[in-house]
Structure 1
Amino acid sequence: MKTITLALLFLFAPVLALAAGGSGYDLDSVDTDHSDKASLQRGAKYYQNYCAGCHATSFQRYERVADDLGIPHDLMMENLVFDKSARIGDLMTNNMDQKEAKEWFGAAPPDLTLVSRVRGEDWLYTYLRTFYEDPKRPWGVNNKVFPDVGMPHVLMELQGVQVDSCVGGDDTARDPLTGEKLCGLKVDPERKGSMTVDEFDQAMYDLVNFLSYSAEPMKMERQQLGIYVFLFLLVFLVFAYLLKREYWKDVH
């Protein structure tokens, strides 16, 4: 039994380490909602404009996304598909050369179709919001959730430039009365983005919501089917109980 337990720990340890990101940074909670079509549409817009140039979602098709999100095919192709050679039924790939990408970023940008299942939605939401200025890094930015990240802050024009006021201090220190952190990430007032903090948080929620949908497009149908199965089992339980009483009435 002990051998089996150790084997399972070694099996799942890499997955758990990947999901945690190895930083120990507290993750902000996010509750995605695949029934919110407006949020998913906005998330698809942010993804196509800021992520699709480097990252693919190659297990998704433009047509499936358009149909699920209620986007007419002509609008999808006109506004959200920038590869003019692509067709509505194509997979959502891109033309970035993987070898060149590895030279530029140190590692080829991963496919994001299943990233919310691998990393977790809370991890994604926190990661997207915790880039901060770090002159020591090649792209001039670092990340609290993924230290020494090789990805540039492509959303900087929306968020602005964040600075880390915890540098040289204890980033876990909290006010003994309020519990609030005594330092943290703040947008530099001189280098603000086009969005306020609340607007950017909402935008990142929409993006994570879309990536969560991409990882499991059938989630809503699966949950609805689960309700139907549960109701069927409840009805079946009544008939099973009555049948049991009929069979056992002479025995008792």
Structure 2
Amino acid sequence: MKKWLAVLLLVPTFAFAAGGEYPNDHADIDLTDQASLQRGAQTFMNYCLGCHQMQYQRYQRTFQDIGVPDELGDKYLRFTGEKVSDYITSTMPEDDSATWFGAAPPDLTLVARVRGADWIYTYLRTFYVDESRPFGVNNLAFPNAGMPHVLQDLQGTPRLATEMKMIDGDMKEVSVGLRTDGDGKLTTEEYDETILDLVNFLEYTGEPSRLQSENIGKGVLIFILIFFVFAYLLKKDYWKDVKK
């Protein structure tokens, strides 16, 4: 956990800075998939919470919503010594981080609502080696991003794949995507799934009551439909007598 405290820091623009024109990949999230939410929560707590926090989300509410008993949540998801009833906050002093890096790392409670699930999914999968950058990496979705590639040990070392192509009569080297060196703990498919789980969790924290709200909305629509049928039949029966 400690080794990520330093590498997760320089990210003040992660949630709010404007992105480039790189096309977003679709994040096929499913808020009903509790196993995915649990895996996403574990990734967040292990790789992101060292610097970022979720100051509007409580541990206890999170554990209940994603189906994690408190004792398991305390063992695998709560590392900061806070109470289960506390908000999910980082142990990094905000004043110190602002002094060291110019601004405190942003809170990520609402990042999915601000940036969108597709953007986050694309962003976390498009880092590549760029020795000219301070952390030695750049990003296709967010050029010149100030964030290091904190998940590189999972993905492996990603590099731009290039080919020589004829453009306007000249042979030019152009990017044709990203390839990893194969030195990561996960395969490409497994890494994409890990990022999808993380995005799923971030989507949940952006609106924890979304599923409940959708269910209430469906119930209201069903009630309105049934009420409309009875109202129509009543109106029809009433006007039948009036016309006579």
* TM-score after normalising by structure 1: 0.82
What is the match of residue 151 of structure 1? 147
Contact 1:99/1:108, CA 8 A, preserved across alignment: yes
CA 1:166–1:118 in 2, change beyond 3 Å: closer, same or farther?
Answer: farther
Contact 2:153/2:184, CA 8 A, preserved across alignment: yes
Unaligned runs of 5+ in 1: 1-17, 171-180
Say whether 1:208 aligns with 2:234. no
Matched pairs, number: 222
* Distance in 1 (alpha carbons) for counterparts of 2:59 and 2:131: 38
Say whether 1:229 aligns with 2:225. no
Say whether 1:48 aligns with 2:45. yes
What is the match of residue 251 of structure 1? 243
Select 1:188's aligned residue among 181, 184, 203.
181
Look up the SS of the partner of 1:183 in the other structure: strand
CA displacement at 1:242 relative to structure 2: 1.4
CA displacement at 1:23 relative to structure 2: 0.6
* Distance in 2 (alpha carbons) for counterparts of 1:118 and 1:124: 10
CA displacement at 1:145 relative to structure 2: 1.2
Unaligned runs of 5+ in 2: 1-14, 167-173
Map Cα deviations across residues 128-174 of structure 1 (whole Å, 9 max, x no partner): 1111111111111111111111111110100011111249989xxxx
Contact 2:129/2:160, CA 8 A, preserved across alignment: yes
What is the match of residue 76 of structure 1? 73
Map Cα deviations across residues 51-100 of structure 1 (whole Å, 9 max, x no partner): 0001101110000011111111111112211112x100000011212343
* Distance in 1 (alpha carbons) for counterparts of 2:177 and 2:119: 18
* Distance in 2 (alpha carbons) for counterparts of 1:224 and 1:88: 28
Identity across the alignment (%): 49
* RMSD across aligned positions (CA): 2.2
Say whether 1:135 aligns with 2:131. yes
Q: Within 5 Å, which residues of 2 pair with 1:117-136?
A: 117-136=113-132
